[in-house]
Structure 1
Amino acid sequence: MSAIAASFVVRAAAGAANTSDSSSSGAPGGTATTGGAPAGAAAYGGASGSAGPSDFQLVWGVDIFLLSLIALLFVTRTPRFLARLYSFSEWTSGLVLRNRSYFKRTSAPRRVEFPVTQNSGMYEVSLSSDESHTMYQEKAFARRVGETGMPVQGSYPPHVSNCPSFCRPLLKLMHARIHTGLSFSHFLLMLIWLGTITLPAFYATNAFTDPVRFGWIAAAQLPFVYAFGTKNNVIGVLLGVGYEKINFMHRHSARIVLVAVNVHSLGYIYKWCIAKDFMEEIAEPKNYWGLIGLICIDGLFLFSTEIFRKKAYNLFIATHISSLTVLIVAMLYHYRGTVYWAYACAAFYLLDILLRVLKTRVASATLRPIPELGLTRVEIPNINSGWRAGQHVRIRVVSSGMGLIGWSEVHPFTIASVSDSQEGLVLFCKKAGDWTNKLYNLANTCSSEDNIRRVSVMVQGPYGGLGNTMAASFSAAMFVCGGSGISFATSVIQELIQKDLDSQSRVKCIELIWTVQDASCLVPMLPLFTSMIQQSVFTPIRISVFYTRAPTGKFPFSDNFFQSTSLTLSPGRPKFQRHFEEIITRSVSLNSSPKSAGSSGLFVGVCGPVALADSAFDAAGRIEPYHRDQIGGVEVHAETFGW
């Protein structure tokens, strides 16, 4: 294999030499090198008189190594990739949003049957006490049935652990936070990536006297910048993660390009200024195209800083689109030897644009303000299928009520509803900026007789989600949410309930921890929470709501309202460690029966601020090894606000 790879590199170098400009020097934008280097080496930035590899061969070899690293990560995730093949719907869902009209039925098919000999009064589920819910949950009084009334045969998804049991002690180290939102595993990957780039940066060259090599490094890294940064991410699909999970590598590789381009450009500018021929050199087409590329890179860096991303998002996105487009053209005209990498950048970029168009739907939406939560509920009934629980969409509201340029903004929101439901696609848009505040005010402005605001929207997606992780394959599921992050939990829990009623879920118990600022936030969510508890006949759900601020005005609930452990409301912040230990104990006891197949792990879904996710990872790392092995491992999946 190594001989084949070496032969391919030599042929690629020779092919690129034939396409290069004979008047060009050793690197993009460079002047002719001195000495008697062979023509091929000179054309590719090889050191004068050097018998070693050329610059092209060095960076090409580094790219092959980095691609091999990505391939190795893919191989480690292959078992989960293949496990999803157990069901065809696991692959067909979560790709394209659609409308399936036959799901709009007046009544759902019967799925649970209770013997008529039982007291009919026990079918009425109440949250007033533990006794009524316990009786309702008793499996001896219920069974799963299909539409024909026949018992449903179980078809459980295979469970593949994300980490072998002997490697579980390393999870605490890999998940340890070096900085807010930055784990040790992220840091290690970035360190390996940077260390790999260091080899061509300093091998047989001097950045102060010969900036050629850094031009090649920038060109070779740019395809990774495009690949890691696109919404329809090829690398993300291979690894089974959403684009937002590998965006840190987009930034990391972009910083490498930023440094390499500036070292390369400033080195030549310094040479030209010393020789007092800057104006003559910069007038050369290949050199002023190089200057245009430098401006694009530095402009991208400037407008990608946090202040522009959060305070001037439209400016950030406009400069990104324009600069990344011009940059590809600048590469081609700057130096023809970079044609392979320029075409790779264009391929990733155009594929992303094409898939965005194919994933975009235009529909009518209903806006409803929810003052207690400070958010807008967006309902799109004409889109009711095509996503997996936990995925998000990017939405554009086409209305003059959004302001002069508000219609042009696209914002991501997690889908709060389950696919193939009558209510369609539902989003919770929390007031967190100018655009979301305008949306909330627009929802308060009723334009119809039924006191509902209707607008046209463009919805793009779905994106992200659980990837190759199947929550239904775990023995227990726990969700930790903050504020509007409840949308992630409600969608996944409702999907787990549906799968459980169809006998397609291994989950034996579910727990939801929701942290809000005020106790009144529970009021609008109470019907949904009650419904989930009622529907989950065979899998007990426990919902714990915590409020962090003292109630203003009258407390929204009576003193005897919360007498069931199925739904509790408490002041303060949750102690994740205690909740983890409790759900592990409950799950192990439920899986200890002779008919049980054993524990298959605890799934922890986190959605909220970065600090909340870091706290959940820290608590998971402090679980006793004995308890972690009892449950079959603990896996944390985080969806964080911001980027």
Structure 2
Amino acid sequence: MSSPPQGHPAESHNPTDSLVLHVDVLLLSVLGVFTLFALPRAVVRFMRLSEWHKGLLFYSTSTQRSATSSGAGSPEDGKSEKSNVSVRAMDANPSTLNTGEPSTGELPRHMSSWSSAFPGLSWLLSMQIRPGYSIGRLLLIYAYIGVVLYAGLFHSNPFTNAGRAGLVTVSQVPLVIALGTKNNIIGALVGQGYERLNYLHRAVGRIVILAINTHAIGLLYEFVSTGRWSVVVTVPHLTWGLVALICMDVLFLFSISTFREMFYHVFYVTHVVAAVLMMAAACMHHPKARPYVLAAVGIYGLDRILRIVKTRVATASLRAIPELGMVRVDIPHINSGWLAGQHLRLKVLSLGMGILGWTEPHPFTIASVCEGPNGDGLVLMCKKAGDWTGKLYSLAQRGKDGEAATGRSVTVLIDGPYGGPGNTVITSFSGVMLVAGGSGITYALSTVEELLQMRAVGSSRARMVELVWSVRNPSSLVPMVPLFSRLLEYARASGVSLQISVYYTRAQADDLMQSLQVLPPGLDLSPGRPPLERLLQGVVDRTSELCTESQQSPSGVLVGACGPAALTEHAGEAVRTFDRQKFKAVGGVELQEENFSW
């Protein structure tokens, strides 16, 4: 990308500029096509005024306490000291709850997904080649690689025309930045959260790393072969190019999955610092980089501004739940603004988290429903699974005097909400099956609560809901029994057929199993891994049955999966291999995956 007087070979810049510009236009066109595909669901979702203020910002609103005819909202039985988990009673009219029909409100319109419209093509594209990478994802990645290779190699030799690779590199920087932001512009256009596009951020980033190293190797080859290596460190704009190269390679090396998982805080800090320094160095390296870098700076700056706007400082109550190895985080003063399935990034501003622990943001799925009338507010369930969460668990067990206590108040910084169902309106489906593994139960709990709450006020089509929870030890069920019992009781009152099936993979002592033999109707405990294919068939059959009884056309079944990759892949396989005749009869079966690979 450097000018000929500084030792670079002369090249015809206009053809290269035009080619890169055409490639950028092509990529924008592809984004436009995906945006058009997502537009029908976006239009249907935002036709409802209630959707405009959900899923964007946390805020507080006044809620009215109410109880159902079953008394699910009473203070005495609404909370369990043993479980430290509560469920909000929904504001509904008791006189209409037992009819099985919605009381008031407007039923959401259902828009079928493209996967339901073309199940055969969806089956092919959703096949998993390796964890996290389906055929559809790989085709998208390889198509992008082909386009970039065309831009870099068409009528060009990287050893004699190194500037081409440099221009290709900077032209893709805005795309890398856009895919890496939490307030993802591309995700907003295609109706996906940033975490679901992270695979593209990594793929595009690796191609950019390859391109900039190709650019550098081409120049170094020329300088070394002509004995002019010294110009790299004596000519300012070449030195800045070397700085940009080092920053890009640092970004790559520190983002390798093994290092990222072991030293996330180091990865995060180096990622931000190296990215900012790289963009500044690229501007100093060559004038042609400046328009692209300025676009990337604008995207990054907008994301940072939005994250500041979406950040809240609040007081939270920490309570340890030993049976689950979790910490319950209650933030009662924030009770609105999110959708079921969304997550936030949490900082605990306490020296009890360690020297740097209080500066680390960690993502957690929200476990409570928005605008719960019982006033529980925002609830998180944080599983003890690492150093940071281990410190959080220890902090929750300590009182102000350092002795054991039932809870502790701390100041927290929350940033969100993010992710979630996107433009998919969960309450527009006639049936829902939620598959959770371990701490993935938080996703399932908030979704079940939202379905029941909306059904009670006549704003949900869901008539059949199945919650499948896979755990290692059946002891995990003990503290959840009161909560599950109240969910089942409220489901019966609101006219929703709710079934909760818990599966465990490790045998336990006989005395524990005897204590779990008497469970409320609708709650089952079974050994082994969940047979998702059979369970899905049961959900579809029961949904069709209930819709026939009410003389309504089924609007499809949603399968939501949250947990380890193996479990979400199993859920995906169950959807892909489902009977095509029943698939069409129920209005389609759609999959939404939430895994632990953020």
TM-score normalised according to structure 1 size: 0.85
Matched residue SS, 2:142 = helix
**Deviation of 1:231 (Å):** 0.5
Matched residue SS, 1:356 = helix
Matching of residue 579 in structure 1 with residue 535 in structure 2: yes
Matching of residue 640 in structure 1 with residue 595 in structure 2: yes
| Structure 1 letter corresponding to 2:538 | E
Task: Provide the C-alpha distance between the structure 1 equivalents of 2:344 and 2:307, rounded to a whole number of angstroms.
Answer: 11
| Structure 2 letter corresponding to 1:445 | R
Task: Provide the C-alpha distance between the structure 2 equivalents of 1:84 and 1:143, rounded to a whole number of angstroms.
Answer: 27
| Structure 2 letter corresponding to 1:31 | G
**Deviation of 1:91 (Å):** 1.9
Q: 1:488 aligns with which of 440, 443, 448?
A: 443
**Deviation of 1:597 (Å):** 3.0
Greater mean deviation of Cα atoms: 529-538 or 289-298: 529-538
- Tell me the residue number matched to 2:81: none
Q: 2:241 aligns with which of 287, 290, 296?
A: 290
**Deviation of 1:164 (Å):** 6.5
**Deviation of 1:491 (Å):** 0.4
Matching of residue 208 in structure 1 with residue 159 in structure 2: yes
The alpha-carbon distance between structure 1 residues 112 and 524, as it changes in their structure 2 partners (threshold 3 A), is closer
The alpha-carbon distance between structure 1 residues 560 and 252, as it changes in their structure 2 partners (threshold 3 A), is closer
Task: Provide the C-alpha distance between the structure 2 equivalents of 1:94 and 1:380, rounded to a whole number of angstroms.
Answer: 17
**Deviation of 1:85 (Å):** 2.2
Q: 1:82 aligns with which of 29, 32, 43?
A: 43
**Deviation of 1:590 (Å):** 1.0
Q: 1:499 aligns with which of 454, 462, 465?
A: 454
Q: Which runs of 5+ in 1 are unaligned?
A: 1-19, 47-53, 114-123, 125-140, 146-150
- Tell me the residue number matched to 1:396: 347
Matching of residue 452 in structure 1 with residue 407 in structure 2: yes
Task: Provide the C-alpha distance between the structure 1 equivalents of 2:224 and 2:177, rounded to a whole number of angstroms.
Answer: 33
Question: How do 1:466-615 residues align onto structure 2 when only pairs under 5 Å count?
Answer: 466-536=421-491, 537=493, 538-552=495-509, 554-555=511-512, 557-558=514-515, 560-562=517-519, 564=521, 566-593=522-549, 596-615=551-570
Q: 1:340 aligns with which of 291, 316, 340?
A: 291
Task: Provide the C-alpha distance between the structure 1 equivalents of 2:254 and 2:380, rounded to a whole number of angstroms.
Answer: 29
Greater mean deviation of Cα atoms: 484-493 or 530-539: 530-539
Q: 1:69 aligns with which of 30, 54, 75?
A: 30
Given that 1:169 and 1:625 are in contact with CA atoms closer than 8 Å, whether structure 2 keeps it comes out as no
Task: Provide the C-alpha distance between the structure 1 equivalents of 2:502 and 2:420, rounded to a whole number of angstroms.
Answer: 24
Per-residue displacement from partner, 1:222-249 (whole Å, max 9, x unpaired)?
1110000000101111111100000111
- Tell me the residue number matched to 1:196: 147
Q: 2:197 aligns with which of 233, 246, 267?
A: 246
**Deviation of 1:512 (Å):** 0.3
Matched residue SS, 1:186 = helix
The alpha-carbon distance between structure 1 residues 559 and 429, as it changes in their structure 2 partners (threshold 3 A), is closer
Given that 2:116 and 2:589 are in contact with CA atoms closer than 8 Å, whether structure 1 keeps it comes out as no
State the structure with more CA Rg: 1
Per-residue displacement from partner, 1:415-438 (whole Å, max 9, x unpaired)?
000011211111111111100001
| Structure 2 letter corresponding to 1:573 | R
Task: Provide the C-alpha distance between the structure 1 equivalents of 2:318 and 2:301, rounded to a whole number of angstroms.
Answer: 34
Per-residue displacement from partner, 1:435-458 (whole Å, max 9, x unpaired)?
000101111112279742111110
Per-residue displacement from partner, 1:295-345 (whole Å, max 9, x unpaired)?
010000000011221111111001011011111111111000122101111
Q: 2:110 aligns with which of 159, 162, 174?
A: 159
Matched residue SS, 2:502 = strand
Q: 1:443 aligns with which of 381, 391, 396?
A: 396
TM-score normalised according to structure 2 size: 0.92
Task: Provide the C-alpha distance between the structure 2 equivalents of 1:401 and 1:582, rounded to a whole number of angstroms.
Answer: 48
Matched residue SS, 1:315 = helix
Task: Provide the C-alpha distance between the structure 1 equivalents of 2:410 and 2:204, rounded to a whole number of angstroms.
Answer: 40
Given that 1:447 and 1:454 are in contact with CA atoms closer than 8 Å, whether structure 2 keeps it comes out as no
- Tell me the residue number matched to 1:309: 260
Structure having greater relative contact order (Cα 8 Å, sep ≥ 6) = 2
Matched residue SS, 2:435 = strand
The alpha-carbon distance between structure 1 residues 229 and 389, as it changes in their structure 2 partners (threshold 3 A), is same
Task: Provide the C-alpha distance between the structure 2 equivalents of 1:346 and 1:334, rounded to a whole number of angstroms.
Answer: 16
Task: Provide the C-alpha distance between the structure 2 equivalents of 1:614 and 1:217, rounded to a whole number of angstroms.
Answer: 36
| Structure 2 letter corresponding to 1:578 | R
Question: How do 1:409-424 residues align onto structure 2 when only pairs under 5 Å count?
Answer: 409-421=360-372, 422-424=375-377
Same amino acid, percent of matched pairs: 40
The alpha-carbon distance between structure 1 residues 311 and 32, as it changes in their structure 2 partners (threshold 3 A), is closer
| Structure 2 letter corresponding to 1:143 | T
| Structure 2 letter corresponding to 1:366 | S
- Tell me the residue number matched to 1:50: none
Greater mean deviation of Cα atoms: 553-562 or 71-80: 553-562
Q: 1:33 aligns with which of 9, 23, 27?
A: 9
Task: Provide the C-alpha distance between the structure 2 equivalents of 1:617 and 1:559, rounded to a whole number of angstroms.
Answer: 31
- Tell me the residue number matched to 2:225: 274
Given that 1:111 and 1:501 are in contact with CA atoms closer than 8 Å, whether structure 2 keeps it comes out as no
Matched residue SS, 2:330 = strand
Given that 1:112 and 1:142 are in contact with CA atoms closer than 8 Å, whether structure 2 keeps it comes out as no
| Structure 1 letter corresponding to 2:380 | L
Matching of residue 187 in structure 1 with residue 187 in structure 2: no
Q: How many residues are aligned here?
A: 570
The alpha-carbon distance between structure 1 residues 366 and 559, as it changes in their structure 2 partners (threshold 3 A), is closer
Task: Provide the C-alpha distance between the structure 2 equivalents of 1:560 and 1:350, rounded to a whole number of angstroms.
Answer: 56
Given that 2:368 and 2:378 are in contact with CA atoms closer than 8 Å, whether structure 1 keeps it comes out as yes
Task: Provide the C-alpha distance between the structure 2 equivalents of 1:475 and 1:582, rounded to a whole number of angstroms.
Answer: 14
- Tell me the residue number matched to 1:129: none
Matched residue SS, 2:319 = strand
Per-residue displacement from partner, 1:343-400 (whole Å, max 9, x unpaired)?
1110111011111111111111111111111111111111111111110000000111
- Tell me the residue number matched to 2:358: 407
The alpha-carbon distance between structure 1 residues 171 and 533, as it changes in their structure 2 partners (threshold 3 A), is same
The alpha-carbon distance between structure 1 residues 380 and 166, as it changes in their structure 2 partners (threshold 3 A), is closer
- Tell me the residue number matched to 1:108: 66
Task: Provide the C-alpha distance between the structure 1 equivalents of 2:219 and 2:440, rounded to a whole number of angstroms.
Answer: 50
| Structure 2 letter corresponding to 1:402 | M
Q: 1:427 aligns with which of 376, 380, 390?
A: 380
Task: Provide the C-alpha distance between the structure 2 equivalents of 1:451 and 1:560, rounded to a whole number of angstroms.
Answer: 29
Task: Provide the C-alpha distance between the structure 2 equivalents of 1:31 and 1:522, rounded to a whole number of angstroms.
Answer: 71
The alpha-carbon distance between structure 1 residues 444 and 155, as it changes in their structure 2 partners (threshold 3 A), is same
Task: Provide the C-alpha distance between the structure 2 equivalents of 1:154 and 1:365, rounded to a whole number of angstroms.
Answer: 33
Matching of residue 377 in structure 1 with residue 328 in structure 2: yes
Task: Provide the C-alpha distance between the structure 1 equivalents of 2:398 and 2:535, rounded to a whole number of angstroms.
Answer: 42
Greater mean deviation of Cα atoms: 446-455 or 170-179: 446-455
| Structure 2 letter corresponding to 1:285 | P
**Deviation of 1:630 (Å):** 1.2
Given that 1:366 and 1:452 are in contact with CA atoms closer than 8 Å, whether structure 2 keeps it comes out as yes
Q: What root-mean-square deviation, in Å, do the aligned CA atoms of Structure 1 and Structure 2 show?
A: 2.2
Given that 2:344 and 2:416 are in contact with CA atoms closer than 8 Å, whether structure 1 keeps it comes out as yes
The alpha-carbon distance between structure 1 residues 299 and 30, as it changes in their structure 2 partners (threshold 3 A), is farther
Matched residue SS, 2:515 = coil
| Structure 2 letter corresponding to 1:567 | L
**Deviation of 1:596 (Å):** 2.8
Task: Provide the C-alpha distance between the structure 1 equivalents of 2:429 and 2:48, rounded to a whole number of angstroms.
Answer: 16
**Deviation of 1:558 (Å):** 3.2
| Structure 1 letter corresponding to 2:384 | K
Task: Provide the C-alpha distance between the structure 2 equivalents of 1:152 and 1:547, rounded to a whole number of angstroms.
Answer: 38
Task: Provide the C-alpha distance between the structure 2 equivalents of 1:108 and 1:547, rounded to a whole number of angstroms.
Answer: 36
| Structure 2 letter corresponding to 1:610 | A
